[in-house]
Amino acid sequence: MKKTFLSLLTLIVSSSLSLAQTNLYKESCTSIMVGKGASTDGSVMTAHTCDANYRTWVEITPSKSFKPGDMEPIYWGTLHNEEPWDMRNVKEKGKIPAPEKTFAYLNTAYPCLNEKQLAIGEATIEGRPELLNESGLFPIEELERIALQRCSTAVDAIKLIGRLAEQYGYGDWGECITIADKKEVWQMEIFGSGPGKPSAIWVAQRIPDDHIGISANIPRISKVNFNDQRNFMYSSDIKERVIKLGLWDGKGDFVFWKINNGKKPFSVREYFVFNTLAPSLNLQFDAEELPFSVKPDKKVDVRDILAMYRQTYDGTQFDQTANLFVIVPRKDAVRGEYQDTVRPVSTFMTNDMRALLNSLKPGVTERNRTIAVIQCSYSHVIQLRDWLPDEVGGVAYFAFDNPAQSPKIPIYSGTTTLPKSYSICGQHRYREDAAIWTFRETNRIATINWDKTRKIIEPQLMSLEDAMFRDAANIETAATKLINNGKPEEAKKMLTEFTNNFAAAAMRRWSELKAELWIIFARSM
């Protein structure tokens, strides 16, 4: 029976992940940013969905001390190892001088939050192939790690990343990283320097305090104002380099997305987020470009952003299932005979299913890349709050697998450990000891008939989210009091227990849901 179950599950997962192999760079992440003046409580936010087949193990890497002259290794291949100790296919490419001491940080595939309330989101933007220089020392995930280990502000992180990339070379495809601290959030786009000695071409632009921004695998920085040092930073020789590469004539406006990519600088995700949160702007999907950032019509709460990451565009112009419904006659003891509208095909359909449907009726469904996708490895929305101690103020609301189906757990800047099952990647094989599979099994079963099962899953999601924020308020108050009374270690212990207990509760509930769903489908689809 177990073998049969695993075979079925593997089939479901393989079919579902076929989409993940398409447009690996173009559609692999979404990062939404919120300035402190755009949020209801004055917090700063950044976020990330890791929407591809990257490692899912997560751990808190503690602070480290180094001796004078010590060197820090720079690795390639950490996106795909199975556990923190696993160095298979991980290669040391070089070394840089180590600092005297580092900060503790949340070590995800793309490191994201440190103990000083510095946070980073990520979205691959690829860029022009001629900019790639694989001789560069750094991939983006290592630059993120180094910044979180050494910096406490967004500006310092950008300067460090830029300096290291220029000095040692950036060897990765084009990337956007959204760098936030408890005061502000920036968007940094970085590329290789082309042929020759490896360096980097990069620009960072500040999101205005009362604005929101989004990076979704497309370069977004437009005209660079080289005289506005408050809102722009850039590589030291950027003008000279792009002129030499033939990407700018040195005369007209320096429009960064035209230089590094040249394609339309937005797609469905950017438009949907901006149009949803700032409808008064009447933005047009057929425009040449959208604003870099927008002021939302109403200030947004962190739960508004969490909800945005569950979006599949239901009921909007981008709804992929709008035409995929059928009227089914029903009969029960309460209502008697009635007509029921059902949507047996979900927005999480595979490309093969979409092709089949369109072969039966051309144009019946159009693919629109949703924010929530089935191939998501993990996601987080990070909130940074300057009125709270760092241990409490920084919190990553983290989830494995599809964010439309998985509950978030709170991981604080002061959290020191995570459940053992969180430190095991579930991408290489089915592992019952990997936390992601607790959520993935339930979610994949639910996807068999999402029209039916979402009525079960979504209330559970909201119930856990309500409980998380209700309990967090009490824990945060108590932890802050401990810190103010000179007991930071006791506060960290309290926060860590809350994180781990909530994770255990979420996994337990999703295991229970798996059993409930199997019972449903054992009787009927």
User: Mean pLDDT for each consecutive 10-residue tract of the chain (525 residues)?
Assistant: 42 39 61 98 98 95 97 96 93 97 98 98 94 97 98 98 98 97 98 96 98 97 97 97 95 96 94 98 96 98 98 95 92 90 89 94 94 96 98 98 98 98 96 97 94 94 98 98 98 98 98 94 73
H/E stretch holding 517 reads helix 488-523
Give the pLDDT of residue 22.
38
Q: Can you tell me the distance from the alpha carbon of 254 to that of 97, in angstroms, rounded to the nearest whole number?
A: 35
Longest alpha-carbon distance in the chain: 81
Question: Residues 396, 401, 402, 408: what is their CA dihedral angle, to the nearest 10 degrees?
Answer: -30
The reported pTM is 0.93
Tokens 């290489």, residue located: 428
Give the pLDDT of residue 520.
87
Is 125 within 8 Å of 189 (Cβ atoms)? yes
Q: Can you tell me the distance from the alpha carbon of 451 to that of 446, in angstroms, rounded to the nearest whole number?
A: 9
Tell me the three state secondary structure of residue 250.
coil
Is 432 within 8 Å of 415 (Cβ atoms)? no
Total residue length of the chain: 525
Give the pLDDT of residue 20.
35
Give the pLDDT of residue 524.
66
- For the chain, percent helix, then strand, then coil, each to nearest 5? 35, 20, 45
> What region does 163 belong to: left with phi over 0, alpha with psi -120 to 50, or beta?
alpha
In this structure, is the dihedral angle defined by the CA atoms of residues 316, 318, 323 and 327, taken in order, positive or negative?
negative
Q: Can you tell me the distance from the alpha carbon of 228 to that of 230, in angstroms, rounded to the nearest whole number?
A: 5
H/E stretch holding 205 reads strand 201-206
Is 89 within 8 Å of 80 (Cβ atoms)? yes
Tell me the three state secondary structure of residue 343.
coil
Is 198 within 8 Å of 165 (Cβ atoms)? no
Tokens 């437009």, residue located: 222
Q: Can you tell me the distance from the alpha carbon of 7 to that of 29, in angstroms, rounded to the nearest whole number?
A: 29
Give the pLDDT of residue 522.
82
**AA letter at 157:** A
Six-digit token string for 29: 């992440």
**AA letter at 209:** D
Query: CA nearest 203: which of 167, 228, 168, 171?
Result: 228
Q: Can you tell me the distance from the alpha carbon of 162 to that of 131, in angstroms, rounded to the nearest whole number?
A: 16
Instruction: Give the contacts of 278 (CB within 8 A, at least 6 positions apart).
Output: 212, 294, 295, 296, 297
H/E stretch holding 276 reads helix 268-277
Instruction: Give the contacts of 462 (CB within 8 A, at least 6 positions apart).
Output: none
